[in-house]
Chain A
Amino acid sequence: KNQVEQSPQSLIILEGKNCTLQCNYTVSPFSNLRWYKQDTGRGPVSLTIMTFSENTKSNGRYTATLDADTKQSSLHITASQLSDSASYICVVSETGNTPLVFGKGTRLSVIA
């Protein structure tokens, strides 16, 4: 069964620190992997999308990596800000017209 597992489930860090969120998946055949940020009370917003051939992609202070061989991805946040407090959701897509497979998200809290 296609699955996406994220860790940790939740994380608290001090403002200004870096952190890394993990995503492991069993989705096959793999097409692409996305990271979404969901602020409380809002809809998810895309941060990055990576295909099989890409192993790193940046969006400002967010850098996503992908290892398609080990089926792992990470999202690294540099110099965290209070506004980074949100849920981060890893979403993996199979090839073709099949539903996206969502992870359960990592809840990040950045505190002053």
Chain B
Amino acid sequence: DTAVSQTPKYLVTQMGNDKSIKCEQNLGHDTMYWYKQDSKKFLKIMFSYNNKELIINETVPNRFSPKSPDKAHLNLHINSLELGDSAVYFCASRPTTGAAGELFFGEGSRLTVL
């Protein structure tokens, strides 16, 4: 049973399109995240949600809109895709917003914008 699952794993699309990536966790965690990993392999936080509420938004363009229908799901919708959006997007979850909770990552969604 996958703890944090993301779909799709691969996504290839044209510039200007709108796309979504879905994430679900079955760990019962309160907090979920989206991270972006660029070509240099650096992981940067984009958003954090706790119990469906946004708690961190790290200066991400407003073309990116996260949505959390319940605490087990955090989806990422991207409007008007640009070449620079090409990256691997990782969803992650954690049992608490406190510092000690272990962070579990999904397998990543590789987005390629042509």
Chain A residues within 8 Å of chain B by Cβ, number: 27
Closest to B102 in A: A46
The interface residues of chain A lying within 8 Å CB-to-CB of B108 are 41-43
Contact of A45 among B56, B100, B105 (CB under 8 A): B105
Chain B residues within 8 Å of chain A by Cβ, number: 24
Q: What residues of chain A have their CB less than 8 Å away from a CB belonging to chain B?
A: 31-32, 34, 38, 41-46, 49, 51, 87, 89, 91, 93-100, 102, 104-105, 107
Given contacts A31-B100, A43-B106, A104-B41, 7 further A-B contacts (CB under 8 A): A42-B108, A43-B4, A43-B90, A45-B105, A51-B100, A94-B99, A95-B99
The 4 A-B residue pairs with the shortest CB-CB distance, nearest first, are: A43-B105, A31-B99, A97-B97, A93-B99
